[in-house]
């Protein structure tokens, strides 16, 4: 920690009148009081209890001295059992230990766990982790490779790598095969644009959907909300009622669910407000699965895509492609690029612009999003009119 970093943290503590904990490395942090006093602490877990050890004050105790003191203290306590001395430590046990840590921070923990339980544990779960090799994994995953499921394989490689690093870092097993470079065996395919119609073709898209028997239910409302917000499928699927502020007409998506890692506020159009207020607020999630075994749980993030597919639009329109339609329409209307980009919750690649541009343009985005939602409803009206004319001809 440099003097500049310390001064910045000390100023923050003084301004907020609160103690600040700043992590320097794993199991080592410094606590800075509003008075400017800074104290080093080491921490560790023992018998499911968190232990903190005072190591002295900064700058009398430097960063290097604090690190050394932490190492020496951790050696004196039994932080974790010496599993490496145990004759048995299976792949299943390793993943279970890893799960306990990962589920606290993973955004898609259930999907991750499902992939591991489907493609790793049935084959390797009961063998010793020290005997698991990269070659064995690659051989077992050959059927997935033959099916072209490269992205699934790359995710599995990430899980194995992360688990292996966790096991070695925590001393659970030191002597094991290198499992950290399997991913190079599965290079990513060249990026393809997600299927989406053009803004001019949007009436035909709604026509194709409206011609089908309306069995979509909650998924239909999720699709309309995606159109009205231009949010990502996963953000809509996991949307909660307490994110919605009807009084101020805004939806606040929390940072942990956003790809950009920052809170994103979506202005609420007239159409979106009417739609959401017409829905029952029974559970925490806005769009709840209608399967009884998933009572109260959100719909799958793939639900809207599957709805398009069942309507015969597979390969023509995807759920994520809704954002592409909106982005194209906003560009065609000549709206300011930076405001339009914020409507899509895009993060600027320009580091200088990112540092100085901290406005989310909420009020400037309101008229843009209202214009866009009006256009969406105009396209829906055109689809309805086309269906009405066809029914009139038939009668």
Read off φ and ψ for residue 128, nearest 5 degrees.
Answer: -70, 135
Q: DSSP readout, 312-380?
A: IITTT--STHHHHHHHHHHHHTT--HHHHHHHTTPPPS-HHHHHH-----HHHHHHHHHHHHHHHHHHH
User: Residues 372, 230: one domain?
Assistant: yes
209 is a domain residue: yes
Residue 173 and residue 257 in one domain:
no
Strand residues in 89-211 grouped as ranges (E): none
- Same domain? For 59 and 165 the reply is no
Residue 126: count of CB within 10 angstroms of its CB: 11
Please state, as a whole number, how many other Cβ atoms lie within 10 Å of the Cβ of residue 161. Answer: 16
Do 75 and 128 belong to one domain? no
- The confidence score (pLDDT) of residue 392 equals 86
Enumerate the H helices of 22-82 as residue ranges: 63-75
In the predicted model, is pLDDT for residue 240 greater than 70?
yes
Give yes or no: residues 130 and 234 share one domain.
no
**Mean of pLDDT values over 70-75:** 80
Per-residue confidence (pLDDT) for residue 278, from 0 to 100: 93
171 in a domain, yes or no? Answer: yes
Among 98, 177, 87, 180, residue whose Cα is nearest residue 132:
177
Residues 135 and 94 in one domain: yes
Q: Is residue 380 part of a domain?
A: yes
Question: CA of 56: how far to CAs of 40, 59, 61, 76, in Å?
Answer: 6, 9, 6, 18
Contacts of 60 (CB under 8 A, 6+ apart): none
- Check whether residue 127 and residue 210 sit in a common domain: no
Write down which residue in 14, 49, 79 finishes a domain: 79
Residue 191 counted as domain residue: no
Same domain, 107 and 180: yes
CATH code assigned at 130: 1.10.150.130
CATH number of the structural domain spanning residue 34? 3.30.160.390
For residue range 113-140, list pLDDT tens digits in order: 889 999 999 999 999 999 999 999 999 9
The domain boundary residue, chosen from 46, 79, 112: 79
Does any domain span residue 281? yes
Q: Which of 185, 208, 235 is the last residue of a domain?
A: 185
What's the mean pLDDT when you consider all of the chain?
84
In the chain, DSSP finds a helix count (H) and a strand count (E) of 17, 7
Position 204 in a domain = yes
Reference 221, options 265, 276, 282; nearest CA is 276
CB 174 within 8 A of CB 84: yes
- Do 42 and 97 share a structural domain? no
**Residue 61 domain boundaries:** 3-79
Domain tally for the chain?
3
- 272-318 pLDDT, tens digit per residue, is 999 999 999 989 999 998 876 667 889 988 899 888 888 888 888 98
Task: Verify that 125 and 262 share a domain, yes or no.
Answer: no
Same domain, 380 and 263: yes
Contact status, residue 198 vs residue 189, Cβ threshold 8 Å: no
Instruction: Please give the model's pTM, rounded to 2 decimal places.
Output: 0.55
Q: How far apart are the first and last CA of the chain?
A: 80
Q: Which of helix, strand or coil describes residue 79?
A: coil
The number of C-alpha atoms within 13 Å of 287 and in the hemisphere containing its C-beta is 25
What are residue 244's DSSP bridge partners? 251
What SS3 state is found at 30? strand
For the domain that residue 323 is a member of, what is the CATH number? 1.10.443.10
Quote the percentage of the chain above a pLDDT of 90.
Answer: 42
Give a yes or no: residue 299 inside a domain. Answer: yes
Q: Write the DSSP symbol of residue 85.
A: G
Does residue 203 share a domain with residue 68?
Answer: no
In a domain, 190, yes or no: no
């Amino acid at each position: 920690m440099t003097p500049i970093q310390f001064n910045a943290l000390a100023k923050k503590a003084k301004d907020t009148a609160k103690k600040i904990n700043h992590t320097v490395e794993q199991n080592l942090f410094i606590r800075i009081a509003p008075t400017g006093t800074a104290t080093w602490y080491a921490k560790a877990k023992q018998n499911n209890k968190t232990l903190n050890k005072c190591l002295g004050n900064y700058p009398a105790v430097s960063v290097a001295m604090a690190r050394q003191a932490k190492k020496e203290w951790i050696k004196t306590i039994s932080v974790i059992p010496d599993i490496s001395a145990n004759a048995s430590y299976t792949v299943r046990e390793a993943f279970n230990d890893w799960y306990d840590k990962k589920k606290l921070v993973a955004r898609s923990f259930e999907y991750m766990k499902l992939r591991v339980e489907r493609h790793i544990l049935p084959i390797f779960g009961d063998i010793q982790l020290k005997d698991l090799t990269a070659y064995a994994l690659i051989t077992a995953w050959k059927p997935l490779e033959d099916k072209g499921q490269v992205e699934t394989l790359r995710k599995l490689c990430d899980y194995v790598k992360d688990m292996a690093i966790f096991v070695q870092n925590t001393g659970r097993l030191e002597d094991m095969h290198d499992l950290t470079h399997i991913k190079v065996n599965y290079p990513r395919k060249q990026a393809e644009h997600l299927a989406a119609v053009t803004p001019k073709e949007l009436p035909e898209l709604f026509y194709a959907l409206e011609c089908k028997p309306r069995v979509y239910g909650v998924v239909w409302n999720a699709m309309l909300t995606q159109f009205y917000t231009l949010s990502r499928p996963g953000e809509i699927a996991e949307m909660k009622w307490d994110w919605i502020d009807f009084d101020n007409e805004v939806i606040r998506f929390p940072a942990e669910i956003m790809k950009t890692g920052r809170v994103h506020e979506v202005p609420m159009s007239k159409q979106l407000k009417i739609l959401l207020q017409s829905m029952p607020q029974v559970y925490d999630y806005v769009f709840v699965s209608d399967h009884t075994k998933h009572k109260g749980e959100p719909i799958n993030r793939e639900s809207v895509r599957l709805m398009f597919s069942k309507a015969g639009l597979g390969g023509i329109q995807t759920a994520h492609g809704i954002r592409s339609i909106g982005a194209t329409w906003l560009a065609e209307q000549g709206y300011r690029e930076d405001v339009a980009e914020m409507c899509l919750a895009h993060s600027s690649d320009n580091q200088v612009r990112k540092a100085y541009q901290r406005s989310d343009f909420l009020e400037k985005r309101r008229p843009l999003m209202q214009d866009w939602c009006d256009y969406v409803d105009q396209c829906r009206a055109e689809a309805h009119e086309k269906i009405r004319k066809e029914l009139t001809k038939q009668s």
